[in-house]
Structure 1
């Protein structure tokens, strides 16, 4: 090989530079000598010269591959040693059981378990025990049993030698349930699989009883369901084990009634902290169920709108009572909390409707609440501002395209509730940290711009006057105003018949 080619390969990392590292050959490793306690070991060799030390700052590709293979070999060796230690423990336990049951006599079967990688574990066992406990061994040993003659049985291609050996040990155990206490779910599933393969009925029953009684983690739950669905165990208690994760068909049919009770319980909760926690939990669960195509546990549209009407009725009664609160019959703080609570409940249900894409009808329902809007205008802002969050919530959803309703419903909504939103906006964004001012303004702007040009004019000229008088306490929808201006005066589409006869009028706003 030319010196130039060698130099190039050294630079690329395929050959170590002989001036920087010592040559290494795995076949030339030497074993350490043994010394008696009386003799002293030889002094350690001097450290290599600086120039002959391997350079670890920039290891070559060969060195990195060697280190990786060495680490992999050490890991495999450690795993094999752990398995050997556990197998040795089981064999010791097997001998103890054999001595305890002295009536069994000497072993007459040499059972060898062989793994896929060739690992062999021989065991001296009793054909009588195997035949009594396992229908697989009973069938196979009975065909070749001769009095006074020992037999050799080999089980090949085992996935896990350790589990097979432990299953044989279980055949000698008197109290299998006690023996399984403390084992992991994964281990018991493996024992169950081997027990089923050799038709060890007592082992199958004990493993199923263990799985039925012990708690599972989420990962373990998936493993249990997967294993039991693959095993064919006729006449055994598999359904009982799976009862904690499966239900009768009637349960899914009653899901809507269950959810109605759950949602109603949250709406009527007395502890506000617990109510907020359960709202968050149920919303998250319903959202997850909506993403699962196989989920049958869902809430119906009728149930959600039933709750909407209930919340609207409670809200109407609270506002009616708030108008006459000068009578002193109710504490103002208590009444204020009730109004905020009912408004928050209604907003939560509307959130679920939007998430489920069922909120179209609610836009019209909310737009038709003119009596409620009239009551709203007659009580102090400090009591009512939470109600305007519902209007903001709908405008955000419509601005995102998550609610699709006709123009009539959109204009009816802003006609009924937009003035209230203007009045409450300052209080609303200061009282609720969750209210995003920019998000509300963007949703409101986009909703207004979906209206007809004439309706845009009416709404935006009204906003123009209010914004000049209230400033930051009014939503800033200048972007919508600019788009309307451009549509009305700059980019006029002459091919569209305009029968609205636009007239710009500025209404006065009294502070």
Structure 2
């Protein structure tokens, strides 16, 4: 049996201090003076954020009833050597959100527990845990903080963080964290190195939640709460503005009048002017909703615009918009760009079906707009917008199952407007698809087959 040298190289306090610097815990102040006791949580700048009746704070030795010891070992000359031992002060009722700790802290294991004496002579339960060599203690500490703060959207903001938290959450059977990590990984693009890590980590864990995530790599068949008032007001304004733009575009495409040609043309001019004016308001709303992180419904609504996009194709195939409303294509595509960019960046988690339809319905609008460039001085800005949308659409396609990507990628061939060397984004997208498809010769599962 391998021996263990008890040599602590890194102190627990230094590890916790480093983590606290990256993800600081909110300060909590006790307030009294009334019939009830309140605990006020503060932001880093000292402004109060919300009132809570829960006084439990991460790594607070004053009222902790559990001490978790995280032991990290290294292998040296066929012997295990203790590299670090980190001591964390926790609370049983917080830890019990994880099925693993709920079992460890249950009465059936009471006789085998180790204790120490805390403040006021209260007993503290000791839990010893070994950190595998493939993981770092910081990942365990971060998941522990998520148990206290529940700020999944604020913490899991990149692939590396999600992949480091996921194995720990799986080990502890922390379902909420597992779901948050998997949903983030499923919705954002990956680099080639990140894809290798996703394949390695996710397949080794064999999580039931990862079926749709793996469908994008191998062919298989298988949010934070927002302020309700702001959400309702913005959603209502967005729906109203979108309806105004849609109605105006539809009126131009199919004028519901009978009369002389000049009368119909005059009404169509009014319709285009109205559509352009309301599109400016709509763009402003989209930008505000994304800033406030309340654009989830807007993204879903934008993905359902079959008739709207069909009417836009008719408008952009005519020449009238060039002189009547030359800014209309840029305004509509800018709304699209803002929404799909937020989805591609992972700041809004959209389902596979929503991501697929965003590309399926809005890619043709981009293509028609590219083929009918604006004659105004702003045409260079419109060209830049077209290129940005090309990149984002290709990134979203990279998040879809192979079968769906196979249907959408050929529609992007017109992105190659010059030579192959001048279109690395298109070449990269096709190379990515062929690399994934060659991993397994089976047929890829689509969003509809997954029941999303």
Query: Does TM, normalized by the shorter one, top 0.5?
Result: no
Larger gyration radius, structure 1 or structure 2:
1
Higher relative contact order (CA 8 A, sep 6+): 2
Q: Which structure has more strand as a fraction of its residues?
A: 2
TM-score (ref. length: structure 2): 0.39
Q: Which structure has more helix as a fraction of its residues?
A: 1
